Structure 1
Amino acid sequence: MNDIGIRLKPILAKDNLNTLPTFSIETIEQYDADILFICDDDRKSESFFLENPLISSLKVAQDKRLYVVDGNLWRAYGPSVIDKIVDDLSKYLLKAIQNL
């Protein structure tokens, strides 16, 4: 992540970064993210997650920098998958910059 300029919060440093970090909705505010990607396997919409007061109260949600991505894709491996994830990242990071 550092190679592409993404700095993870210190709380994530203790996690195994060979996989996507997982956490409970009750502890999500501890991560204090500038941008939050929610990997969802069920293709729920962003509005589904924003209906939860614990999520909608987060600064990242209020600043419109919370994005729901395809969890099946983001946990997969292979060159074509990496291309799709990079496409997602560029799309959402550009959108996040516009919301600063």
Structure 2
Amino acid sequence: MAQDFFIRESGKLTYGEILERLRAVSEENGFADARHAGIFRQIVAQGLTSMSDKQWSVFRQEMVPLTVERCSIASCTNPTWPGLEHCPTHQSRFGESGIKRHR
């Protein structure tokens, strides 16, 4: 299942990495869900321990999986940062343009 991929891969990240990636999501496009934006602002201002049980549940189940995306190469199973098209392996082969580089 696709959801399993995002939960599994985001589970490998430290909280520092999760917050760094959520900051990137916030700065690049913003959060589609206003609850996510509010929880993120609260974490930045007051820390992780400031969240209620309900906020913690939203953070773990909805926000943390936002910290990874799939590589856009169909056969690739590597995760990448939100907003990046390719994983590090394919980034070196295709670059940011998505056009295959010749070696």
User: TM over 0.5: same fold?
Assistant: no
Greater percentage in strand: 1
Q: State the TM-score, normalized to the length of structure 2.
A: 0.31
Greater percentage in helix: 2
Q: State the TM-score, normalized to the length of structure 1.
A: 0.31
